[in-house]
Structures are given as structure tokens and as C-alpha cells.
Amino acid sequence: MKTFMKPSPIIGVTPLWDAERNSVWMLPDYLDGIRAAGGIPVVLPLEMPEKDADQIVETCDGFLFTGGQDVAPELYGEKACPSVVSSSERDKLERLLLSKALLTDKAILGICRGLQFINVFLGGTLWQDLPSQHPSEIAHKQKKPYGIPTHNVRLNGDLRMLLGKDVIDVNTLHHQAVKDLSRDLTPMAVAPDGIIEAVKMPSKRFVWAVQWHPEYMFQTDPNSLAIFSCFVRHC
């Protein structure tokens, strides 16, 4: 008698974009994290017509919204400050994908910019530049190596239940963060300076996002691998 194994979930990964080089690219860490958790990562194109987006959302079991350029402040009704470097190409792609992924209740994980974009898409706002707008003793943008944790976060909700801990150490690589949290989201982790570091969307099957970078730590940090694994299971 043959034993049929459930196929691995296919996970669409939003691409990274280098405007100066006119280049779509990807950090292998995102893909490796998905593979380590049992998923099949597929890097998506930067531009796509809506009919292609429909087919991609139908084909993929989940979506990873990666880090990268700042979310355009115009999307939450503000004028950009000098330190903002945004990408209209990524904003356009991710608005299209996120709207369709939410509508079909696909599993979603956001990392860094991914958290920020999900919050803005759902009506929230951002601190455009933490050093000038929300000064803190915590340096939220660490130097290399990126796989070394530099501050802690206090957990609650589903993330606390998953990891079985009240506090974990995380890495950090961002100059923007959630200012006003969308009413559709709830916090799952907060830094000592009050910055929201993880969120979920309770009305959906699985929409989680973290401000730190588990893709840089999953090989040595069980907490990071657990986040990828939880996401892939829900895919």
C-alpha cells in the first residue's frame, strides 16, 4: 500500500528591489528559513498585472512580505522626511498582493518592512525616523553581524504561547516602526522603549508580522525557527 505524503506548501516571497541597478534580487536567508521549516519558497516578480496576481494567489499557500525600502509616507497621509527611502514599485506590488491574500485568507508572515506595510495597508501609521522622532536608549539599527540579538522584547498573546516565554532576545535592523497601530491588528511583542515589535490580525487564520529578522537567526535561535515553522504549518 502506497503512502502519500502531503506536499510541501508553496510560499510566495516578495522580491527585493535595487533601483540603481535596475535589479530584482533576494537574500537567501529568507528562502533558507522557509525551507528549514518545510516550505517551498518562490521569489515573485516585481511587476504583475492583476490577472497574474490572481493566479499567483491561487497557486501559493502563503506569502512572506520581506524587509526592504521604507513604506511611502503618502500611503498614511504624511509628507516624507529626509531620511525616507521608499519604493513605489514595491508599494504597488505589495498593495495588490496583500489585498488579494487577505481576501482569500492566505497565511501571511511579515518581516520588518513587512510588518510596517501590513500596518499601513490596514490604516495604521509609522514613525518615519526613530532616532529623530522617537529617541531611545535602544539602537534599533544594529551593525553587522545581523544574526546577533541586541535587545529584548516582551511577548504576549499567540507569540508567547508559541515560544513559551515572556521575554526573548532579538536582532534589529530598522529606522522606522509602528506609530499608530491599525485597529485590525493586536500587538504580540513590545520593546522596552514601547516600540511594537510583533503583531497579528485576529480576524484572519494566520497573519503575523515581526519587526526583527528571524531569517538571520533561525540556524542558531530556536525562537526564530519556531516562527518560520508556525507560519509554514499554517500554509
What cell was used for 41? 519558497
Angle between helices 88-103 and 50-59 (to 10 degrees): 50
Cis omega (within 30 of 0) for bond into 41: no
Residues with catalytic function: 112, 213, 215
Q: How far apart are CA 191 and CA 148, in angstroms?
A: 16
